[in-house]
Amino acid sequence: MRVLIVGSGGREHALCWAIAASALCDALYCAPGNAGIAREAECVPIKADDIPAIRAFARNNAIDLVVVGPEAPLCEGLVDALTADGIKAFGPTAAAARLEGSKGFTKDICAKYAIPTAAYARFDDLARAQAYLQKVGAPIVVKADGLAAGKGVIMAETRDQAEAALADMLQGGGFGQAGAEVVMEEWLHGEEASFFALVDGENALPLASAQDHKRVGDGDTGPNTGGMGAYSPAPIVTPAMTGRVMDEIIQPTLRAMADMGCPYRGVLYAGLMITESGPKLIEYNARFGDPECQVLMARLKSDILPGLMASAEGGLRHFDLRWHDDAALTVVMAAKGYPGKYDQGSEIRGIDAAEKIDGVTVFHAGTAMKDGKLVATGGRVLNVTARAATIGEAQAKAYQAVDKIDWPGGFCRRDIGYRALK
Ligand code: AMP
Ligand code: GLY
């Protein structure tokens, strides 16, 4: 098979790494990729959101399967465009990707299909939103409806904070079109968990559990990021919990999407709050988590390509995947300053030494080669990933590898996995 991966982060490097290992893969391309991805795939200089160029490349290079990593091209209809050309694609159509692209869309499905989630209301009018806030009070969560690169959620502890968020989104244009509508919802309490399932429109196959750390600082402090590290398995997602999440959240969602004429295919990523009364849906994403994908790929024993094909073609009913019993853990190394302003172009050395440690793979999230040197080109730059018998051992190995990497321009959290080790 000739495969094209779309994206340039650590998630896409992990997908390339797994697909490159498949006996079914004859040729592997990545658009646009990065310096690490170039070890597994031929990188082509096409941006992930350049739908016409990706479509033309896939057609001209006889691509059999396109695997879309990030949400933006999914929401903009990349899979629809490829399907129209008769090219198979892993990922949802634009209509199905609304599960990530519009929080209000997802909340309305939850209401109609009795899927457990936080109580909510939708507004596009500031005065009405303020009146609702007067009625329900704080604490409350205010969310931009559309895609906001993980920044569109304001956890308002006071009414003033909620007022400010509403004004910023509905009046100040703080989140552009994404904030032209807001969702206000109940603040849930419990432990968070990420849940992933492969979906073929009708059937869903849960993947191994994984959990990320969203805050930038040790002890889960400081601003939110895309994720500073992840581990798998996540002890809170027991087999019994997996059963409940499938029955109460995932399956009703798939029925809803099919009923609306936009069946969901691809990977469905549910952000959950495990509350006293059971799992509740916080949000959906229409793609793999980044860096959760990295630990899932590290633990996957089966060839991934048949799974991706079964999702794209509708064959998951009798499909299964096998996983290593080992745990996996990944530490994100980011450029100093992230998630705020950060410098680019600093040199990174020592990755070879890190990868000499048994079970360690360094996925690249934002790197390039410049004048023969490996340099940082993003906020999140490396994902130092280790597999070992337990989360504790994987953590020790990952940090041993981190300490081999010579990158004065970078930093990482030193406590990834601590919740699972408590
Ligand atoms: P989201 O972008 O919707 O995943 O939200 C980002 C983060 O905000 C989540 O991972 C949670 O930590 C938090 N969050 C979002 N909605 C809620 C809620 N209703 N109650 C508590 N925490 C929430
Ligand atoms: N790690 C969180 C995300 O991919 O959205």
Using the 8-state DSSP alphabet, how is residue 5 labeled? E
Six token digits for residue 162: 């909620």
Whether residue 271 has its Cβ less than 6 Å from ligand 1: yes
Instruction: Say how many Å lie between the first and final Cα of the chain, rounded.
Output: 44
Whether residue 14 has its Cβ less than 6 Å from ligand 1: no
**Residue 250 pLDDT:** 98
Cβ atoms of 70 and 93 within 8 Å: the answer is no
Using the 8-state DSSP alphabet, how is residue 176 labeled? G
Distance CA(230)–CA(332), nearest Å, equals: 8
Cβ atoms of 362 and 262 within 8 Å: the answer is no
**Residue 46 pLDDT:** 98
**Residue 392 pLDDT:** 98
Residue type, 232: S
Whether residue 226 has its Cβ less than 6 Å from ligand 2: yes
Which residues of the chain, if any, have pLDDT below 50? Answer: none
Cβ atoms of 8 and 48 within 8 Å: the answer is yes
- Residue of the nearest CA to atom 16 in ligand 1? 282
Distance CA(380)–CA(359), nearest Å, equals: 22
**Residue 183 pLDDT:** 86
Cis peptide before 233 (omega within 30 of 0): yes
Nearest ligand, CA 226: 2
Q: CB-side exposure of 116: number of CA atoms within 13 Å?
A: 17
Ligand 1 centre and the CA of 271: distance in Å?
8
Distance CA(314)–CA(306), nearest Å, equals: 11
3-class state of residue 274 by DSSP:
strand
pLDDT digit string (tens) for 144-185?
888 877 678 888 999 999 998 888 888 877 787 887 788 899
- Residue of the nearest CA to atom 5 in ligand 2? 289
3-class state of residue 57 by DSSP:
helix
Atom of ligand 2 nearest to the CA of 292: 1
- Residue of the nearest CA to atom 3 in ligand 1? 283
Residue type, 355: E
Backbone angles phi, psi at 47, to 5 degrees: -70, 150
Cβ atoms of 145 and 180 within 8 Å: the answer is yes
Q: How far from 34 is each of 14, 53, 153, CA to CA, in Å? A: 12, 18, 29
**Residue 115 pLDDT:** 97
Cβ atoms of 315 and 372 within 8 Å: the answer is no
pLDDT digit string (tens) for 283-293?
999 999 999 99
Domains defined along the chain, listed by start: 2-93 (3.40.50.20), 119-186 (3.30.1490.20), 191-313 (3.30.470.20), 327-421 (3.90.600.10)
Ligand 2 centre and the CA of 227: distance in Å?
6
- Rg (Cα) of the chain, in Å, rounded? 21
Q: How far from 337 is each of 35, 299, 331, 394, CA to CA, in Å? A: 22, 31, 17, 27
**Residue 340 pLDDT:** 92
Cβ atoms of 292 and 332 within 8 Å: the answer is no
Q: CB-side exposure of 203: number of CA atoms within 13 Å?
A: 13
**Residue 150 pLDDT:** 67
If one residue of 100, 212, 214, 293 were mutated to test the ligand 2 pocket, choosing by the most ligand atoms within 8 A of its CB, it would be 212
Six token digits for residue 9: 């982060």
* Paired strand residues for 77: none
3-class state of residue 370 by DSSP:
strand
Atom of ligand 2 nearest to the CA of 227: 1
Distance CA(155)–CA(273), nearest Å, equals: 15
Distance CA(381)–CA(51), nearest Å, equals: 25
**Residue 22 pLDDT:** 97
Flag whether the pTM goes above 0.85. Answer: yes
Whether residue 71 has its Cβ less than 6 Å from ligand 2: no
Whether residue 282 has its Cβ less than 6 Å from ligand 1: yes
Whether residue 141 has its Cβ less than 6 Å from ligand 1: yes
Residue type, 339: P
